[in-house]
Amino acid sequence: MTRTLLDTARRYAEAHADAAGIAVTPVPGVAIVRQVSPTALQYAVSKPLVALVLQGHKRVAMGSDTFDFGAGESLLITADVPTVSQITEATIAAPYVSLVLDLDIAVIESLVMEMGPAPFVAGAPVRVDPTEGEVADAALRLLRLLDRPASVPILQKQLIRELHFWLLSGRHGGAIRNLGVPESHAQRVGRAVALIRDNLAKPLRVEQLAAVAGMSPSSFHEHFRAVTSLSPLQFQKQLRLIEARRLMLSEGQMISHVAYAVGYESVPQFTREYGRMFGLPPARDMKAAKTRLQTAA
């Protein structure tokens, strides 16, 4: 079954992947990642998701924690957290392939209510565990729909729901369950994160964010750090810098334009903070990125 899942995902990715190696499927929240060589460091603020690695190896770091994992394992991210990732093993003959599923909070809430009381696990928002057979089986049946496009709108919802059920029933269940508990700290912080994402370039006061989360400012600050590993200000800063880097890399926008677009009041301040996060100032980082692309080509 595992080999069949890999073959099915790889075939779809080879036909549909974009220049970044990502094949978006017609099923909302489901994508396949394919890379034929190790990658440079990739910075992101990830939303809650699970990634089933089918071939190759990857490394993901969050703060001081680093996870190395490969085929047969799944990466779980249960909060909007900044990560630094790198595909470490991939070749043309054996490309890195993973199936990525965005966790659907509404589906999790519904299932948690139906499944009844069960323990949930608080703690680190990033973890790695072996992929369970039921999860792989449901993922395979979901991907097989892609060969029959007419079946996708009719059958996708029940298979997505089944996938979430098996995730909740297995090793990942305790960590995922917290996302489906109404008014949990994770859900409240998630509302504040959504406000930050939607108002990336605007200054937001902690009091505003705390009000959205339904907490006092001091309680909000404590729980925000517990869920995301960062303070609200640090989170906004990293999100701005990651978005700025994306705009320069993928859209070729000018440094000065990007700095103001993501909310900085001065280019020198943007340049300093960019260099501290990514190790190089913007101009040198873009030059290095272009060199890597030319070398890969």
* pLDDT for residue 195: 92
Q: What is the pTM of this model?
A: 0.81
Strand 57-62 and strand 65-70: the pairing is antiparallel
- Please report the pLDDT score of residue 59 as a whole number: 94
Six token digits for residue 91:
């070749």
* Domain boundaries, given as residue ranges, for the chain: 2-180, 185-229, 235-296
Per-residue pLDDT tens, the chain, 297 aa: give them. 578 999 999 999 999 999 889 999 999 999 999 999 998 888 888 889 999 999 999 999 887 789 999 999 999 998 888 888 999 999 999 999 999 999 998 899 889 888 876 666 666 788 899 999 999 999 999 999 999 999 999 999 999 999 999 999 888 888 888 777 777 777 888 889 989 989 988 988 999 999 999 999 999 999 888 888 888 998 999 999 999 998 888 788 899 999 999 999 999 999 999 999 988 899 898 888 777 766 655
Is domain 185-229 annotated with CATH 1.10.10?
Answer: yes
Q: Residue 120: what pLDDT?
A: 61
Residue written as token pair 């996870």: 67
CATH of 2-180, one of 2.60.120.10, 3.40.50.150, 2.60.40.10, 3.40.50.2300: 2.60.120.10
Q: Alpha-carbon distance 10 to 33, whole Å?
A: 9
Nearest Cα neighbor of 172 from 243, 121, 114 is 121
Give the CATH number of domain 235-296: 1.10.10.60
Name the residue among 294, 232, 250, 246 with its Cα closest to residue 274. Answer: 246
- With residue 86 as reference, give the H or E element that holds it: strand 81-89
Q: Which of 176, 201, 195, 157 is nearest to 76 (CA)?
A: 176
Supply the pLDDT for residue 112.
86
| CA–CA dist 282, 144 (Å, integer) | 43
**One fold for 185-229 and 235-296:** yes
Tokens of 104: 């659907």
3-state secondary structure of 83: strand
The tokens of 130 are what?
């072996």
The CA dihedral of 201, 202, 203, 207, to the nearest 10 degrees, is -130
Cα 207 to Cα 171, 223, 227: the distances in Å are 37, 14, 18
- Residue 141 CB: number of other CB atoms within 10 A? 15
